[in-house]
């Protein structure tokens, strides 16, 4: 019997239905020689630093860098039950082998392997690698299960990525938090992304708007413009000269036929960008909608960085195109399917496509967000196989009394793929048939004022593009993936910046700009170049691809990361004047009952400011949770001032009864907080 392990319950149910595992049990389905279960995301995670050594509970500069000699993992407390189910299933004697059916990518591979190793399982396993949740794709996938060894390097790259993020995140966050005496979150991809927004806002702030002027003349039905003038008076003087001359000479006429190829199919990033620009959805919303559509078998795997399909998929395109045209009620007369086929540009997964399942869906049953994303994907498929947009561009150089003018005009010859766009392409400044040497009448001449434009604020659309192309000019031409982050992680990075208060969304419902907060600007200001530079992070992404391909050893990559972290901790110095741009906002709440130093409120609790003292009142406090209460600033004030706090309506975890009591605070020999209860004489009820 085979144990099939999926990433989510919904995916497991789809797989189970296809392979005949229809008998439901607690945490798994069984039947037809299969047991199908699921992980619920990351069941197994890297432990916190204090698991390696309890001293790391207190953040101190002297303890850095933290470099585990042997990496430890633990089961997430929220998913412990499902982990136990999986462990028991793996131990069953009738289970001969396993099938890794988590998402077919770096993260999916990591999720399965960590569970497999944490359960100390040694049974053989194979890999289900599919790009669609359609029944036919699942059936084909099980007929062609891949050897697990094919994906060992993918797992190695995933481990390196996870551990590198831990090393940089833990050490850099603690380093800067200790030195600047406040909680500062630093991340391998997050900080360079934040730096981009800060640099963009700095460019906008430094921008000085300048006016410029041009002379525009109406030449028998089309307009021509002069070069720019800095002074309005000069432009006005030349306008008068043109008006007085009344004619303008045609110096040179050039007419070229041009074409624009249809845009490629969507990968995740391009879908997120269009979704943000056209619909106002955040990158995370788009990913969530796309993931749901994938699990409903309506689109192919969304976490892809490919924008093409493979040759073997060409045979099924005709039927898919018919279904798609019917779904969005648009027809194609001619199609060019070859332009979306390119084996060399397909990595782990092909571009995002609708599936044939769209032909039978009830649109009214789809949430509006999912329907909008599905419409975008279907529309893009039709656009991508359409003919080029062809137009004729005419450029005319003219002169009036020695003053040069220029005019450009466009005539649409074939709308091609743009015929499918809601906004129809219009002909611009149509220029009549002209010859060199023609003399035209000037109907009107006027001075037009223009203003130079500052850079635009980042939106999620443009920030995703910046992340995708970060340091592209510094990367080797043959680099498979440029930029920072991956299509699957960029949305999460943006969300984390917002959640941590480093970036805020500003604007109307549809168009929101991403603006760094004062805290975000201050953080980037004190960051060394190596941490905020996208170049280093982009290089790491490329090295991870090298590990996947077997072109680089994971050990070498991790050594580079460790060296960088050691250098950062050993050489970084506090920026002079940082207290002005980053004032210490830690709030002093009282005196430490153990050593008398100040107790300061920080993100996770109230800490003694004396690095040698271990006194802390954690905000997520196990003792207060046990008595059914939550510690708050008022309780902390009483505990530090009086050594006790009167609490009403505490709740016994054993009996469920309520009671009133005093919580008494004392300390251990090393300063750790110790609590006890003192009951009222008539407090119980």
| pLDDT tens figures, 19-78 | 999 999 999 999 999 999 999 878 899 999 999 998 998 889 999 999 999 999 999 877
- What pLDDT is recorded for position 426? 61
CA distances from 527 to 131, 180, 520, 531 (A): 40, 11, 11, 6
Choice among 118-127, 393-402, 588-597 with the minimum mean pLDDT: 588-597
Whether residue 398 sits in one domain with residue 337? no
Whether residue 649 sits in one domain with residue 504? no
Pairing verdict, β 2-6 and 97-101: parallel
- What pLDDT is recorded for position 158? 94
Q: Which residues are catalytic?
A: 301
CA distances from 358 to 118, 181, 312, 354, 355 (A): 40, 55, 21, 7, 6
At residue 684 the predicted structure's pLDDT band, cuts being 50, 70 and 90, is: very low
Instruction: Tell me how far apart the alpha carbons of residues 106 and 109 are, in angstroms, rounded to a whole number.
Output: 5
- Total structural domains in the chain? 5
Whether residue 597 sits in one domain with residue 534? no
At residue 149 the predicted structure's pLDDT band, cuts being 50, 70 and 90, is: very high
Whether residue 638 sits in one domain with residue 619? yes
CA distances from 420 to 337, 381, 388 (A): 16, 11, 12
Residue 166 belongs to a domain: yes
Whether residue 135 sits in one domain with residue 58? yes
Whether residue 139 sits in one domain with residue 33? yes
Helix (H, G, I), strand (E, B) or coil at 270: helix
Q: Convert the pLDDT of each residue in 314-355 to its tens digit.
A: 888 999 999 999 998 888 878 899 999 998 888 778 999 999
Residue 398 has pLDDT above 90, yes or no: yes
The helix (H) or strand (E) run that includes residue 441 is strand 439-451
Closest by Cα among 597, 680, 667 to 639: 667
Q: Both tokens of residue 54?
A: 């309890």
Residue 152 belongs to a domain: no
Alpha helices in 476-533 (DSSP H): 490-499, 518-526, 529-532
Whether residue 336 sits in one domain with residue 422? no
Q: Are 357 and 298 in contact (CB under 8 A)?
A: yes
Domain boundary among 384, 402, 420: 384
Helix (H, G, I), strand (E, B) or coil at 226: strand
DSSP letter (8 states) at residue 19: H
Residue 173 has pLDDT above 70, yes or no: yes
Residue 475 has pLDDT above 70, yes or no: no
Residue 680 has pLDDT above 60, yes or no: no
As separate numbers, helices (DSSP H) first and strands (DSSP E) second, the chain gives 21, 25
At residue 584 the predicted structure's pLDDT band, cuts being 50, 70 and 90, is: low
Whether residue 279 sits in one domain with residue 246? no
Whether residue 655 sits in one domain with residue 530? no
Q: Give the largest Cα separation in the chain, rounded.
A: 110
Mean pLDDT of the residues in the chain: 89
Whether residue 394 sits in one domain with residue 256? yes
CATH code of residue 360: 1.10.290.10
Whether residue 432 sits in one domain with residue 304? no
Residue 337 belongs to a domain: yes
- What pLDDT is recorded for position 610? 80
* Dihedral pair phi/psi, residue 484, rounded to 5°: -120, 145
Asked whether the bond before 479 is cis by omega within 30 degrees of 0, the reply is no
Domain assignment of residue 419, given as a range: 211-260+390-451
Question: What is the DSSP secondary-structure string of 141-198?
Answer: HHHTPEEGGGGHHHHHHHHHHHHHHHHHHHHHHHHHHHHHTS-----TTHHHHHHHHH
Whether residue 6 sits in one domain with residue 140? yes
The pTM score is 0.77
Q: Both tokens of residue 537?
A: 């992070």
At residue 586 the predicted structure's pLDDT band, cuts being 50, 70 and 90, is: low
Q: Convert the pLDDT of each residue in 445-472 to its tens digit.
A: 999 999 999 999 999 999 999 998 887 6
Return the ∠ at Cα 566 (arms to 565 and 569), rounded to 5°: 85
């Amino acid at each position: 019997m085979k144990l099939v392990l999926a990433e989510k319950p919904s995916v497991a149910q789809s797989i189970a239905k296809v392979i005949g595992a229809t008998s439901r049990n607690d945490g798994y389905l069984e039947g037809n020689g299969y047991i199908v279960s699921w992980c619920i995301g990351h069941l197994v995670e890297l432990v916190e630093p204090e698991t390696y050594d309890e001293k790391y509970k207190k953040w101190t500069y002297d303890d850095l860098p933290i470099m585990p000699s042997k990496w430890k993992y633990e089961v997430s407390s929220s998913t412990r039950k499902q982990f136990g189910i999986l462990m028991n299933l793996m131990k069953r004697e009738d289970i001969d082998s396993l099938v890794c059916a988590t998402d077919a990518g770096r993260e999916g591979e990591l999720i399965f392997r960590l569970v497999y190793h944490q359960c100390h399982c040694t049974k053989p396993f194979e890999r289900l690698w599919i790009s669609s949740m359609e029944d036919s794709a699942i059936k084909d996938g099980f007929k062609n299960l891949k050897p697990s060894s094919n994906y060992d390097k993918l797992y190695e790259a995933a481990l390196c990525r996870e551990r590198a993020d831990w090393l940089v995140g833990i050490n850099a966050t603690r380093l800067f938090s200790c030195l600047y005496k406040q909680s500062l979150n630093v991340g391998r991809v997050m900080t360079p992304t934040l730096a981009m927004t800060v640099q963009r806002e700095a460019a906008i702030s430094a921008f000085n708007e300048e006016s410029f002027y041009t002379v525009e003349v109406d030449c028998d039905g089309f307009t021509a413009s002069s070069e720019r003038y800095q002074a309005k008076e000069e432009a006005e003087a030349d306008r008068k000269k043109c008006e007085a001359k009344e004619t303008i000479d045609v110096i040179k006429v050039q007419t070229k036929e041009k074409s624009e190829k249809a845009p490629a199919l969507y990968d995740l990033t391009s879908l997120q960008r269009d979704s943000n620009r056209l619909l106002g959805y955040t990158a995370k919303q788009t990913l969530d909608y796309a993931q749901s559509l994938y699990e409903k078998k309506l689109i192919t795997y969304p976490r892809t960085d490919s924008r093409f399909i493979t040759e073997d998929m060409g045979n099924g395109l005709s039927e898919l195109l018919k279904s798609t045209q019917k779904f969005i009620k648009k027809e194609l007369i001619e199609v060019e399917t070859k332009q979306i086929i390119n084996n060399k540009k397909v990595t782990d997964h092909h571009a995002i496509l609708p599936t044939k399942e769209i032909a039978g869906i009830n649109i009214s049953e789809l949430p509006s967000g999912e329907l909008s994303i599905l419409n975008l994907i279907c529309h893009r498929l039709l656009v991508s196989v359409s003919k080029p947009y062809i137009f004729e561009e005419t450029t005319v150089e003219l002169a009036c009394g020695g003053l040069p003018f220029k005019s450009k005009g466009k005539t649409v010859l074939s709308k091609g793929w743009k015929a499918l766009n809601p906004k129809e392409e219009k002909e611009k400044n149509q220029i009549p048939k002209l010859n060199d040497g023609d003399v035209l009448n000037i109907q009107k001449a006027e001075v037009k004022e223009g203003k130079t434009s500052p850079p635009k604020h980042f939106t999620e659309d443009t920030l995703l593009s910046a992340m995708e192309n970060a340091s592209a000019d510094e990367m080797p031409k043959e680099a498979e993936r440029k930029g920072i982050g991956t299509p699957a992680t960029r949305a999460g990075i943006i969300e984390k910046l917002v959640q941590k208060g480093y970036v805020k969304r500003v604007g109307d419902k549809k168009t929101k700009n991403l603006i760094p907060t004062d805290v975000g600007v201050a953080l980037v200001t004190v960051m060394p170049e190596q941490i905020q530079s996208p170049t280093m992070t982009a290089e790491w992404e490329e090295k991870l691809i090298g590990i996947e391909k077997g072109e680089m050893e994971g050990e070498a990559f991790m050594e580079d990361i460790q060296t960088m972290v050691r250098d950062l901790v050993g050489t970084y110095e506090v920026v002079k004047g940082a207290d002005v741009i980053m004032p210490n906002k830690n709030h002093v709440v009282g005196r430490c009952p153990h050593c008398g130093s100040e107790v300061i409120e920080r993100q996770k609790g109230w800490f003694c400011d004396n690095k040698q003292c271990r006194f802390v009142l954690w905000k997520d406090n196990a003792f207060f949770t046990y008595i059914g209460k939550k510690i708050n600033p008022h309780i902390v004030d009483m505990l530090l001032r009086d050594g006790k706090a009167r609490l009403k309506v505490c709740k016994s975890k054993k009996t469920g009864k309520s009671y009133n009591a005093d919580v008494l605070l004392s300390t251990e020999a090393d300063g750790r907080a110790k609590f006890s209860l003192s009951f009222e004489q008539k407090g119980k009820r």
